[in-house]
Amino acid sequence: SATTLYNYQGFWHHARQLQGVLSCQKHFQAQDTDILLVTTPKSGTTWLKAILFSLLNRTRFQPTQDDHPLLSNNPHTLEPFLEPSLYLKDENPDLSSFASPRLFSTHLPYISLPKSVQDSKCKLVYLCRNPKDIFISFWAYTNKFRLQDVGTNSLEEVFKKFCEGVSLYGPFWDHMLGYWHESLKNPENVYFLTYEEMKEQPDLHLRKLADFLGCPFSPKEVKENMVDAILKICSFDNMSNLKVNKEGKLPSGINNSAFFRKGEVGDWKNYLTTEMVERLDKICEEKLDGSGLKF
Ligand code: A3P
C-alpha cells in the first residue's frame, strides 16, 4: 500500500520512492563540480537549498534584484532532487540544460548514494537538525496529508515509530552518522552543518559554506553586504510570505506552503511530554555515543 515502508540498505522508503532510489543509483553520473545538499526530511532543506542557489548564482542574479528567481519560484523547483520523481521512469533524465556547478538535493543515506557520487570529487553539504524538532516538523507535515496517504497520525503513534527508526529515510541516527563520519574522514568534500548553527550565526556559516564550495566572498562583496542580502532573500519571513509559496504547488501536487511552518529552534517544547523527551534523549545518547555528534 501507499503507506507501507520498505527497508533498503538499512533505511526505510515508500515503494514509489524506493523505485526512484534504485533507478538513481543505476543512472546518475556525478561530475566533479557537482554540489549535493543532503538532509533528512524536515531538517531545513528548503531553506538551505534557497541559500545555496543564491550563493552559487550570485553573479548571475544579484540577491537584491527584484526579478531574482527565488521571488517567483519555490526553491524545490529551481534545481531537481536526485530522487525520486526525476528517476521514476527508470531512465537517465536529461540534465544537459543545467548550469555548472550543478546543484542537487537529496535525502539519500550515504550508503545509498550512487557509486559515481562516492567516486567523484563532488561536494556534499549535509544539513542536520535536532531530532526533536525534526520529529515535530515531520509530524506536522504528515498531518497535512492525512487524507491522502498516512492514515491516522497521532503524535504518540508517529513518535513510537520514529523512536524505532521507522520514518522516511530513517533511522535518523544512522542517516546523520553516515555523513558525520564521512565529514570527519573527508572534510574537503563533506561539510556537516546544523539548522541550529545556521540560525544562530547565519553570516558566519554562510561565509564558511562559500569557502567550502570554492566561491569565497570577495572583500568587495563583503563591503556591499552580499552576505546579508542572500540571508535576507532566503529568510523565513521573506520566503513564507511570497505569493508563490503561499499559493503555488510543486509538480507533485504538494502545496509550497507545506514547507513553511514556524522555522524556529525548540518548538518541540510545545508538544513533547517529559517522557517523550527522556526517551528521545536516551536514544540519541545511546546511538550517537562515542561519535562526537551531540544535540
Ligand atoms: P518547522 O516545521 O520546524 O517550522 P524541509 O525543508 O527539510 O522540509 O524542512 C522544513 C522545515 O524548515 C520547517 O520547520 C520549515 O518551517 C523550516 N523552514 C522553511 N524555510 C525556512 C527558512 N527560510 N528559514 C528557516 N526555516 C525554514
pLDDT value for 93: 75
pLDDT value at residue 145: 66
Mutational test site, ligand 1, from 40, 193, 260, 270, max ligand atoms within 8 Å of CB: 260
The finding on whether 140 has its CB within 6 A of some atom of ligand 1 is yes
Q: State the cell numbers at 141.
A: 507535515
pLDDT tens, per residue, the chain with 295 residues: 556 899 999 999 988 888 889 988 988 889 999 999 999 999 999 999 999 999 999 999 999 999 999 999 999 888 655 655 566 666 677 777 777 888 999 999 999 999 999 999 999 999 999 999 999 999 998 887 654 444 567 899 889 999 999 998 999 999 999 999 999 999 999 999 999 999 999 999 999 999 999 999 999 999 999 999 999 999 999 999 999 999 999 887 889 999 999 999 999 999 999 999 999 999 999 999 999 999 9
To the nearest 5 percent, what fractions of the chain are helix, strand and coil? Answer: 50, 10, 40
Query: Atom 23 of ligand 1 has which residue's CA nearest to it?
Result: 236
Cell triple for 157: 503513534
CA distance 202 to 193: 11
pLDDT of residue 251: 81
pTM score, whole prediction: 0.95
Pocket residue to mutate for ligand 1, from 71, 138, 236, most atoms within 8 A of Cβ: 236
Report how far ligand 1's centroid is from the alpha carbon of 204 (Å). Answer: 20
Which ligand 1 atom lies nearest to the CA of residue 41? Answer: 7
Round to whole Å and give the CA distance between 73 and 255: 13
What is the chain's length? 295
Phi and psi at 103, nearest 5°, equal -115, 125
Write down the catalytic residue from 13, 68, 76, 107: 107
DSSP letter for each residue of 153-217:
--HHHHHHHHHTT-STT--HHHHHHHHHHHHHH-TTTEEEEEHHHHHHSHHHHHHHHHHHTT-PP
What is the model's pLDDT at position 147?
44
Based on the residue annotation, tell me whether 205 is a catalytic residue of this protein. Answer: no
The residue among 77, 80, 87 whose CA lies nearest residue 253 is 77
Residue of minimum CA distance from atom 5 in ligand 1: 42
Number of Cα atoms under 13 Å in the Cβ half of residue 28: 33
Centre of ligand 1 to C-alpha 218, Å, is: 29
Q: Compute the distance between CA of residue 288 and CA of residue 290 in angstroms, rounded to an integer.
A: 6
d(CA 59, CA 204): 20
**Tell me, what's the ipTM?**
0.99
Distance between first and last Cα of the chain: 35
CA 237–ligand 1 middle distance (angstroms): 11
Say if CB 230 and CB 63 are below 8 A apart: yes
| Cα atoms in the Cβ-side hemisphere of radius 13 Å centred on 218 | 5
Is residue 62 left, alpha or beta, with left meaning phi > 0 and alpha meaning psi from -120 to 50? Answer: beta
